[in-house]
């Protein structure tokens, strides 16, 4: 798996921005990616030193839509979230802008 396939997107939320003060950054990653693959991908893409990787697999929500007297049930996709801790003093910038800094 290529490094660009491991990291899908950054997760920018209130919680992830607050965690960036402690050098922790959150990414959506491939469901089958291991912690070692995530560590290598973040190191290569952003040129930073990773000290710790925490992962959690989140189940997709069930959704029900009623339309013209019939119910349609569906499910969102499962996804995996990785929180990466960097060495002190290092920052991840996207397109030259640090979205995580308050």
Residue 94 maps to a domain:
no
Return the HEC string of the chain: CCHHHHEEEECCCHHHHHHHHHCEEEEEECCCCCHHHHHHHHHHHHCCCEEEEEEEEECCCEEEEEECCEEEEEECCCEEEEEEEECCCCCCCECCECCCCC
The reported pTM is: 0.84
**pLDDT interval class at 82 (50, 70, 90):** very high
List, for residues 29-61, the tens digit of each pLDDT value: 999 999 999 999 999 999 999 999 999 999 999
Mean pLDDT computed over 15-35: 92
Residue 48 maps to a domain:
yes
Residue 46 maps to a domain:
yes
Q: Domain of 19: which CATH number? A: 3.30.70.330
Model pLDDT, residue 101: 61
**pLDDT interval class at 89 (50, 70, 90):** confident
Domain that holds residue 35: 3-86
Residue 100 maps to a domain:
no
């Amino acid at each position: 798996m290529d490094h660009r396939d491991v990291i899908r997107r950054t997760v920018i939320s209130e919680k992830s921005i607050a965690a960036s003060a402690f050098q922790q950054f959150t990414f959506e990653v491939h469901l089958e990616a291991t912690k070692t693959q995530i560590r290598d991908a973040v190191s290569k893409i952003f040129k930073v030193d990773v000290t710790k990787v925490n992962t959690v697999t989140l189940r997709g929500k069930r959704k029900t839509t009623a339309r013209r007297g019939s119910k349609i049930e569906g499910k969102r996709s499962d996804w995996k979230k990785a929180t990466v801790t960097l060495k002190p003093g290092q920052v991840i910038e996207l397109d030259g802008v640090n979205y995580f800094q308050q």
